[in-house]
């Protein structure tokens, strides 16, 4: 698939340049064309996890970029509300550039984790966001209370700061996180999805059932917020065995998004769970079926076990 790498001087921060990639379905960009925007999460980048694979398989052109302070986009990095405001400005900057230079109109947004929270806020507040017809919410937090605070507590107590070390595109990145950053993050308001999210935008929520970063029930809260609208639909899909980043489950995430988008373009979406009415296969890689001679195997195991565990 042809691609164009772009760099945009940021109008809101001197010396900052945003870097991204346009994925094209055809060599030539039409005078006006719909596009998907793919948004990464905290300490992420434009090609991480399932995002590059998704861009390569989408039936429409796409854009994915690094938010400022991440990977190939320089500039300031903030964890809390100021960072969310910066992220919104980043989206505005990229959307305006693609519209002016290539005639793109945003029709689909896919956000992962923090990127999804930002994406939903952008749809709720930006004029261009109001016209987006489809939104995919992947692993987004609704309750902003950080449940894994304890892993940073020792650094806070000894030094007043925790050095958050993450490998980004093969390179180690270190960010300083303070208790003030955590409190600022936890005060971010996600409730606008109930009142300001575009009424005509269909939504797909995808969440891993083994997510240890954002509780899977947050996906259910978003389902409550987006369901039962008279002018749009919400579809919920939980991925069995998947963590926050869907390691080992990229294909299922991509296939689900593509299948949902296909149904949307055909006008066949309905409120509910993904693949409602489709009988699943009973076999799961996490739950192996019993062999036919399971009783003999069990008796053999018990009789050969040490007495201490019989």
For residue 92, the domain's CATH number is: 3.40.50.1820
Q: Cβ contacts of residue 279 below 8 Å, gap of 6+?
A: none
Express each pLDDT in 122-144 by its tens digit: 999 999 999 999 999 999 999 99
Q: In this predicted structure, what is the pLDDT of residue 169?
A: 81
Residues 178 and 206 in one domain: no
The sign of the torsion formed by the CA atoms of 22, 46, 265, 134 equals: negative
Picking from 134, 162, 187, the residue at the C-terminal end of a domain is 187
Contact 216, 207 (CB under 8 A): yes
Q: In this predicted structure, what is the pLDDT of residue 165?
A: 84
Q: What is the mean pLDDT of residues 207-218?
A: 96
* Residue 159 pLDDT exceeds 90: no
Half-sphere exposure of 9 (CA within 13 A, CB side): 3
Q: In this predicted structure, what is the pLDDT of residue 29?
A: 58
Beta bridge partners of 207: 238
Residues 29 and 123 in one domain: yes
Q: In this predicted structure, what is the pLDDT of residue 119?
A: 98
Q: In this predicted structure, what is the pLDDT of residue 307?
A: 41
Residues 18 and 106 in one domain: yes
Q: In this predicted structure, what is the pLDDT of residue 288?
A: 47
Q: How confident is the model at residue 48 (pLDDT cuts 50, 70, 90)?
A: very high
Strands (E), the chain: 3-9, 17-23, 33-39, 61-65, 104-112, 134-138, 162-168, 171-177, 202-208, 234-239, 272-273
pTM greater than 0.85: yes
Residues 25 and 151 in one domain: no
Q: Which residue has the higher pLDDT, 159 or 95?
A: 95
Residues 174 and 300 in one domain: no
Q: Long-range contacts of range 156-161, CB-CB < 8 Å, 24 or more positions apart?
A: none
Q: In this predicted structure, what is the pLDDT of residue 283?
A: 53
CA-based nearest residue to 253, from 36, 51, 23 = 51
Residues 298 and 151 in one domain: no
Spatial separation of the C-alpha atoms in residues 140 and 205, rounded to whole Å:
9
Residues 32 and 169 in one domain: no
Residues 204 and 235 in one domain: yes
Q: Which residue has the higher pLDDT, 155 or 200?
A: 200
Spatial separation of the C-alpha atoms in residues 91 and 115, rounded to whole Å:
10
Question: What backbone torsions phi and psi does residue 73 show, to the nearest 5 degrees?
Answer: -100, 120
Q: How confident is the model at residue 68 (pLDDT cuts 50, 70, 90)?
A: very high
Q: Cβ contacts of residue 8 below 8 Å, gap of 6+?
A: 17, 18, 20, 93, 94, 97
Residues 295 and 238 in one domain: yes
Residues 117 and 155 in one domain: no
Whole-Å CA distances, 83 to 15, 22, 29, 39: 17, 24, 32, 14
Q: In this predicted structure, what is the pLDDT of residue 310?
A: 32
Q: In this predicted structure, what is the pLDDT of residue 87?
A: 98
* Residue 298 pLDDT exceeds 60: no
Q: How confident is the model at residue 163 (pLDDT cuts 50, 70, 90)?
A: confident
- The whole domain housing 83 covers 3-144+188-309
Q: In this predicted structure, what is the pLDDT of residue 28?
A: 58
Q: Which residue has the higher pLDDT, 295 or 309?
A: 295
Q: How confident is the model at residue 187 (pLDDT cuts 50, 70, 90)?
A: very high
Q: Which residue has the higher pLDDT, 202 or 304?
A: 202
* Residue 33 pLDDT exceeds 60: yes
Q: In this predicted structure, what is the pLDDT of residue 235?
A: 98
Q: State the total domains in the chain.
A: 2
Residues 253 and 275 in one domain: yes
Instruction: Give me the chain's average pLDDT, please.
Output: 89
Residues 161 and 288 in one domain: no
């Amino acid at each position: 698939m042809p691609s164009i790498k772009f760099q945009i001087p940021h109008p809101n921060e001197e010396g900052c340049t945003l870097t991204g990639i346009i994925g094209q379905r055809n060599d030539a960009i039409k005078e006006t064309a719909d596009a998907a925007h793919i948004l990464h999460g905290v300490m992420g980048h434009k090609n991480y996890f399932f995002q590059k694979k998704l861009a390569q398989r989408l039936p429409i052109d796409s854009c994915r970029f690094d938010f400022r302070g991440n990977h190939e986009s320089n500039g300031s990095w903030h964890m809390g509300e100021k960072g969310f405001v910066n992220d919104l400005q980043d989206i505005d900057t990229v959307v305006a550039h693609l519209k002016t230079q290539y005639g793109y109109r945003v029709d689909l947004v896919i956000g992962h984790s923090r990127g999804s929270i930002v994406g939903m806020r952008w749809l709720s507040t930006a004029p261009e966001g109001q016209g987006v017809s489809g939104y995919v919410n992947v692993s987004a937090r609704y309750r902003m209370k950080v449940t894994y605070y304890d892993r940073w507590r020792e650094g806070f107590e000894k030094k007043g700061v925790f050095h958050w070390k993450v490998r980004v595109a093969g390179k180690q990145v270190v960010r300083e996180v303070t208790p003030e950053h955590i409190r600022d993050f936890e005060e971010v308001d996600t409730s606008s999805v109930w009142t300001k999210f575009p009424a005509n935008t269909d939504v797909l929520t995808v969440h891993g059932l083994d997510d240890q970063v954002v509780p899977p029930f947050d996906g259910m809260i978003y389902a409550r917020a987006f369901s039962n609208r008279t002018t749009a639909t919400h579809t919920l899909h939980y991925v069995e065995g998947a963590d926050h980043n869907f390691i080992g489950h990229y294909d299922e995430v991509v296939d689900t998004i593509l299948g949902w988008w296909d149904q949307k373009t055909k006008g066949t979406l309905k409120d509910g769970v993904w693949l409602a009415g489709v009988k699943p296969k009973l076999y799961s890689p996490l739950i192996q079926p019993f062999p036919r001679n399971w009783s003999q195997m069990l008796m053999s195991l018990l009789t050969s076990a040490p007495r201490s565990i019989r």
